Structures are given as C-alpha cells and as structure tokens.
Structure 1
Amino acid sequence: MMKIQPVVLSGGSGTRLWPLSREKYPKQLLPLVGDDSLLQATVRRVEGLANSTLAAPIVVCNEEYRFVIAEQLRLMGQSGGIVLEPMGRNTAPALTLAALAAIKNEADAVLLVMPADHVILDTAAFQAAVRQGATLAEAGAVVTFGITPDAPETGYGYIQSGEAFDGAKRIARFVEKPDLATAESYLAAGTYLWNSGISMMKATVWLQAMAACRPDILAVCHKAWDEGTVDGEFMREGKDTFAQCPSDSIDYAVMERLATGNGGAMGAPADVALPPGVVIPLSA
C-alpha cells in the first residue's frame, strides 16, 4: 500500500488581508472559514484518504511561526515534522527541504504538496483527484492539479492541458496571469485550467527533477540540510548555507520545464531524465 506524505507549504506573510492577517500572524493561521485555521483545514482535508497509508504532515514554515503551527497541529492530534526556514527562498527550496525530510522516513513516499492557505469546499472531490494523482505519482509522474475555470479570471496563472496520459492530461504549458481578452480565449478553448499550486510526486522523483532542472538549488539545500539540527518536531537547516540558496518557485524551477523538456538548462548532466508532467482537473 502506497504511503502519502502530506507537505504543507506555509511560507506566506499574509499582508494582502491586513489588518486581519499580517506578517506576524498570516492568513493561513487564521480561522477565516469555519473553526479551523486554513492550515488546519489543509491538513484535515486529506484525513481519511482510502487505499493509502497517510503519514503525519510535514509543514514548511518560517522560524517565527513555529510555536503557533506546532500548537495548531497538536490541537488536531497531529505530531508531524516542522521544517523551519531561516529565511524565505520561495517554494522550490521549501519543497526540496521537505523531500529531504520525507526520505529519512520513507524513501518511496508520494508527496502531496499543498499551500496552507487554500479553501476547498468539496473534500470528497478533492480526495478523489488526489487518489488518481497518487497512482500516477507512484508510477513516476509529477502531477499538478488544475482548477476547471468558470470565469475569465485574470488573477490566476493557467495550465494548458495537452494529450491524454493514463487518465489525465500531459502538461502542454504554463502561462502567466493573462489580460481579460486572453483569459476569455482560454475559457472558450476549454483546454486551460487555473493553476492550483497543488502537486504530487515521489520525494525521490522531485529530487531527481531538481537535479535535472536546478542542481544549484539542490546542492545548497542538501548542504544546509546536512548541517541542520533536530529539536523535537522542529528541523532546522544550516542558516549561513541556506542564505546562499537561490530563490525560485516550483513552477519556474521544474513544472514549466516538464512541459518544454528543457531540463538541462541550469547545467545538469545530460543523462538526467525528466519525469512526465501531467495535470488533473479539479472543480472550481
């Protein structure tokens, strides 16, 4: 039975919802919908996934939020690991650290990577999509989830889906936030999805993809991780080393290159192959 490792990326400062959400207490730590904070709702959303063994979550966050997050997990009866970033370096290094943490316990675990600040109301539909994604990820694919658009939204990035792939679709390309006319054309085409920022892949596959796409980030994260310390549930990296890490997002570092096949652009060995990149739709 496959093991799914939830990874919650909780690095945002939440300044756009000021004063309710602010740098010292970002939106993902607030109960904006229901009694749970958005972070707690993210963790709770995957409870009860069938046909899998669910590992305790790994949360990646800034050092200053560690006690609040630990307490919110404790109130849920969760005791997962908390990876503390000494400074923010965007989502690609954050996920790389989480993958290094995950392989310590389960080398073949399938990572379910989720931002901490999403609101998803249809939990059953989400879990069904995750089960489909887990099967593809276990077979070696990098899976991203796109939201089926119901309006020409200009505030989201889009994913264009391509040819069929084992019940999903290949990623054709990622596109930035469009203007209104372009968003309307995407909606009419029927092949574009909003980019949810949720993804699945084996920890080892992510590290291989980073070796192919951003070996510079991978090398710094490895070194910082090896220099790190563990204090209960808190995992810290070497601060001075991690400060040298380039900043890049999951999409720019890896996902877009899965669509273009441009894996060796950052000087990686030519024989490092890219995994297939596929997209699964979610309802809006």
Structure 2
Amino acid sequence: MTRIMLRVTLDQRIRPIILSGGAGTRLWPLSTAERPKQFLPLVGDSSLLHQTFARVADAVLFSAATVICGAGHIEQVEETARDASVGAPRIIAEPAARNTAAAVALAALTAADDDELLLILPSDHHIAYPEAFRATVDAARAGAEAGLIVTFGMKPTRIETGFGYVQTGARLAGAVLRAERFIEKPDAARAEAMIASGDHLWNGGIFLATARTFIEGFAAHSPDILAAVRASLSEPGAMIVTPDREAFAAVPAQAFDHAVMEKFDRVGVIPSDFGWSDVGSWLAAFDHAPRDGDGNAVESGSVVIGGAGNLVRSSGPQIVALGVEGLMLLATDDVVLVAPLADAQRVREAHAWYQANRKN
C-alpha cells in the first residue's frame, strides 16, 4: 500500500528550473553583465535561453518552467519566453548573485510541494539532440523517485581539463548508477586516464530530484545556506518571487556541487549522450558554428578574404578580415577583441583589462 501511494504522489510531470544567472565573461565582448550569453544566439539563430525553453516545452513530460535570474534580467526572460511561445514562466529574481547552491535552494523551497520533481538545468548550454535529452530526463525519473539526486554525466568526447568529472559505480535504479566521486578539473594526464577507464563522465551541471530530497541534502551538509535562503522568502508561491535583498545577501555563495553533491550519500548519475556543450568559450561556439569552404565561421554582414579558420562576430560594425588564420575577431559598438582562437580561455583576462581601463 505504501508503494502505491508513493507512486501516485511522485508520478507527475517534471518542473524545469532554468538557471539564468552569470555574466558569461568568457564570451566577452558580446556577452556582458547586462546581456549575458544565455540571451545571445551563439549557436544557431535563436538564443541559448530560447533553445532551453523549447527543449523543455513537452507538456507530457514537463510542467511550466521556473526561471531563476538576476533582478535586472526579468524583462529579457519574459521577452525570450514570448519569442519561444512557451507562455509566461514563473520567475525567481535574485537580488544578488550567490552561486548555484542558493539557486537550487530557492527552487526547492518554492516548489509546489515536497514531492515535486525538479529538473535543475542551466540556461546557457547547447543540446544537439533534444529528443535524446528528453528521453534521458524521463529515464532519470526512477532515480529521483527513489530519493536520489541524479546528476547527468556526459560521455566524454575529448581530453578536457576545464570540466568536472564524476566516476560511476553500481546500478541503483533503472539506468541510474551510483556516483562514486567527483573530480574537479583534472590535469591532462589524469583526464586521459579517467576517460580510458570507461567509468568517468563529464559532470554537466544538470540535476533531477524531488524538492524534498534537495532540501534533505542541504539540511545534512549546508544548513546555513538553506536557512539563509528560507529567511529571504516571504511569498514563495508568487509568480514572480523576489527574495528580500538584505536577507539574500547573507546567503553563503557556493556552488551546488561543493555544497551538497560531493557530500550527500544519495547521489546517482545517469550516463548521457545528447550532444551536450556548455558553450563555455568562443572556441566552443566556433566548434558548433556553420563554416564556409575555408573553415571560417562568419556572421552575416562581415567577411574573411583569403583567410581560413576564423571566427567573426559583431553586434556593431562590419568586420572585413584579409589574409588571417585561426583568429577570433569580435566587435561591439564600443570595443573590438582580436586574439588567436586557441587562446579562447584567456578572454577573461581581456575582459578584466577592459573593466579596469574602459573609457566612460
């Protein structure tokens, strides 16, 4: 009888919780604090947030999305939702950036009920195969219903030192395996060895669990975050939730992985292969962009003449590049960035210089 009651309670649509924070400084100068990368068409003709809305629009599998964003981005979120024809999302407007642990706690504490299934997913990732994504989410349900926090582990496609990894263990529920341990940004030799072992996946930052399980994870390992977030909420059931500014500023800023996932004893991982990319740099954007016959990814209106392997994007002036190779040429109305594509991870250095020396 208890098992039947549990199934009735948990056999429900999944609530997408779209995390739309961050400034995307590795995608500067087009990505800025005012219009970060999730609002930009970095892969394809629509923005990454637009694509995320479309990915979770299946009304059989998903209920209406909740978006957690900065207070200054509410209008951009609403506009993107209208463009994606998904209806008005519920919005939780953070008065300050406090990292992903605070965002997950906000999602859990504002859920419809403790048994609601919550899919935590970033707004600024690219998924090449949305149907495979939805099938994987549905398969992960068994683990979430069993009381696990399920993380989505991406099949590695290269030796990558900029990602976190998760080691898989025994089967726990359906396709969900035990998450044995998390490894943060290993060096190249260790990354190569882990991939060769066949039991390590990239940690994609996507999580599925009931609100109750998320709360239990915080209560066990980061009760200070849980208490501070709870103290900031006065109307958790509103369509636009606005935590108290002063109370929310007291929330410890910590990543959800460090606050809960690496310590909780009920963590599963589902192996995933749906063409995931975090679009974390201009090199990643270049990898997903259409190219001309010389391997150039050039936005309409600009041109590369007699050059190869370049990325050209502009929200301002036209760019005309002559005889250059392997460069990113990026422009806005007030700044131009030119650098080798191979140095895409150094864009933050350029952004820091610009912030310190910009002309008012």
State TM-score, norm by structure 1. 0.88
Q: Which amino acid is 1:92 matched to? A: A
Q: Paired residue for 2:150?
A: 143
Question: Aligned partner of 2:169: which letter?
Answer: G
Cα distance in structure 2, aligned partners of 1:181 and 1:192: 14
Which of 1, 4, 12 is matched with 1:2 structurally? 12
1:124 corresponding residue in structure 2: 131
**Are 2:31 and 1:24 equivalent residues in the alignment?**
no
Larger relative contact order, structure 1 or 2 (CA cutoff 8 Å, min sep 6): 1
Aligned-residue offset at 1:128: 1.0
* 1:106 shift after superposition: 3.8
Q: Which runs of structure 1 show a deviation greater than 6 angstroms over 4 or more consecutive aligned residues?
A: none
Q: CA RMSD in A?
A: 1.6
- Partner amino acid, structure 2, of 1:74: R
Match of 1:257 in 2: 263
**Alpha-carbon distance between aligned partners in 2 of 1:66 and 1:47, rounded to the nearest angstrom:** 20
1:2 Cα shift? Answer: 1.1
Alpha-carbon contact 1:86-1:242 (below 8 Å) kept: yes
Query: d(CA) in 2 for partners of 1:49 and 1:153?
Result: 35
The aligned counterpart of 1:80 is: 89
For residues 198 and 229 of structure 1, what CA distance do their matches in structure 2 show?
Answer: 24
Q: Distance in 2 between matches of 1:216 and 1:177?
A: 27
Residue 172 of structure 2: aligned partner = 165
1:183 is matched by which residue type in structure 2?
Answer: A
C-alpha spacing 1:228/1:141, structure 2 compared with 1 (3 Å): closer
Aligned-partner residue type, residue 185 of structure 1? A
CA shift for structure 1 position 107? 3.5
CA distance in structure 2 between the aligned counterparts of 1:246 and 1:254, rounded to whole angstroms: 13
| Deviation (angstroms), 1:65 | 0.7
Q: Which one-letter code corresponds to 2:268 in the other structure? A: V
Decide which of 58, 64, 69 is 1:61's aligned counterpart.
Answer: 69
CA deviation vs aligned residue, 1:117-141 (integer Å, no higher than 9, x gap): 1001011111111001122212211
Q: In structure 2, what is the Cα distance between the partners aligned to 1:200 and 1:227?
A: 24
Match of 1:248 in 2: 254
Contact kept in structure 2, 1:49 and 1:127, CA below 8 Å: no
What amino acid does structure 2 have at the position aligned with 1:3? Answer: R
Choose which of 139, 153, 162 in structure 2 pairs with 1:155: 162
Aligned length: 262
Structure 1, residues 142-194: CA drift from partner, whole Å, max 9, x if none? Answer: 10001011211111110011122123210000001011111110111111000
Q: C-alpha displacement at 1:30, in angstroms?
A: 1.0
Provide the TM-score with structure 2 as the length reference: 0.70
- Stretches of structure 2 that go unaligned for 5 or more consecutive residues are 1-10, 276-360
Contact 2:110 2:237 (8 Å CA) reproduced? no
Identity %: 42
Q: Which runs of 5+ in 1 are unaligned?
A: 262-275
Letter in 1 for 2:138: R
Of residues 186, 201, 218, the one that matches 2:209 is: 201
CA radius of gyration, larger in: 2
Q: Could you tell me how far apart the structure 2 residues matched to 1:242 and 1:228 are? A: 14
Q: 2:93 touches 2:243 (CA, 8 Å); kept in 1?
A: yes
Where 1:246 maps in the other structure, the secondary structure is: coil
Q: CA deviation at 1:229?
A: 9.3
Aligned CA distance change for structure 1 residues 12 and 118 (closer, same or farther; 3 Å): same
Question: Aligned with 1:226: secondary structure?
Answer: coil
Does the CA-based 8 Å contact 1:152-1:186 persist in structure 2? no
Give the AA of the match of 1:109: E
Please report how far the alpha carbon of residue 42 of structure 1 lies from its aligned counterpart in structure 2 after TM superposition: 1.1
